[in-house]
Amino acid sequence: MEKKKGGAIALLPILVFLVFYLGLGIIFEYVMKIEMGFYNIPIVVAFLLAILVACFQNKSLNFESKLDLMAKGVGDPTILTMLLIFLTAGIFVGTVGRNSAESVAYFMLSIVPAKFAVAILFIVACFVSTAMGTSCGTIALIMPIALAVGKTAGFSIPLCIGSIIGGSMFGDNLSFISDTTIAACGTQGCEMKAKFKQNFWIALPAAIATLIVIIVMSMQTDINTSINESYNLVELIPYVLVLVGGLAGFNVFLVLLAGIGSGAIIVIANGSVAPVDLLKNMGTGASGSFETGFVAILVAALCALIREYGGFEALLSVIGKMFKGKHAGQLGIGLLVGIMDIATANNTVSIVMVGPIAKSMSETYGITSEKTASILDIYSCAFQGIIPYGAQMLYSISAAVTLGYTVSAFEIMPYLFYPFFLLASSIIFMFLVPDHGMKKTVKRTVAE
């Protein structure tokens, strides 16, 4: 089968997806004023529409040939690995439940002065999101605690919300079992530990800078109270096992199985969950990853057609003219996934969509796979943490409203310190810090 080179029209399915998804999202969210408007649009249907458009393109291939191309794209081992990790990570989150997260928060709040409560909750959100691999899950668990602490101690509610969103994005970016990490490493074919090493030294300065700002602002608040709630340190064991196992470089499936096994034993032994309910929680956790899994499958099929039609070559040609040199190439990858996140309001989906293109770019510019995976994860999470219509922001506002607080996204945005610091840190590392991990050879020549 003859492969067309540089066919810009091959990118039409992506444009159709963006117009359908983003267009309806804007109408639902801002015209019809539907709560969580962007998340009422079935993203799977949007991708099916894009695939349908792709199937009507390129008349030189019959439908059976196109099905064969899509099957080969879906049958890639990295796609299967991603799906299995998605499911296993979901089961882990369903197993450990919310009690563990509350224990982390109340344990740390019990050993520090109340004046530093928001700073501690930021650290807790960082830990819990890294251990659980979900920003929205972390927000759902920690936000009620943060708002209660803020009200009791007299802290600014937007500061509390912004701090928790920032902490949740820290773990969403770094966690070994985060959807974004799985997608970034899966699409680039790199080890999670290698990506973590690249990512950590960029995220750490951003987290430290955020913590300093939160402490400075907290010191300006008059606090005359203490925070004391019960906690159970045994419930931290599954989290610690997952974190330590991931950092040690053990197989991600073994790490997750250890977390699931220890978590199941603990919740049954302490009587917090009945065996039947535990199985239901595991099923609920697994089902929470179904949509992400289907999206990964559909995107793999769509990208197989776009690649065959020459869409990637066309996009790379444009990017090559705009971003010249290795450092600029990294920024190009970051901005590409960031723009896709703005359009989809979903950092995992944006990585899955941009991943194949980013892999081609990394080969062109001579960027290591772990560096590319790190850039994809950083920029998708940073943009996701900033946009006012992202799930993290909407969940946070919903939690505040439920507890009797009226706050808007634009009141919270000035307190989203971590996502902004993360973007700044990434740019500094791109252009000012020598990268000894760059490949010494490239497949195609790019102007320096």
Q: What is the pLDDT of residues 334-376, one digit of tens each?
A: 988 888 888 677 788 789 888 888 898 888 888 999 999 999 9
The length of the chain in residues reads 448
Q: CB count, 10 Å around CB of 283?
A: 13
Mean pLDDT by 10 residues, the chain (448 residues): 59 85 80 73 85 90 91 79 77 74 72 84 88 78 80 83 94 86 89 89 95 91 66 78 74 82 88 86 83 79 84 74 81 88 78 86 88 94 85 79 76 93 93 57 38
Q: What is the pLDDT of residues 195-218, one digit of tens each?
A: 998 899 999 999 999 999 999 998
pTM of the model: 0.72
Residue spans per domain, the chain: 79-287
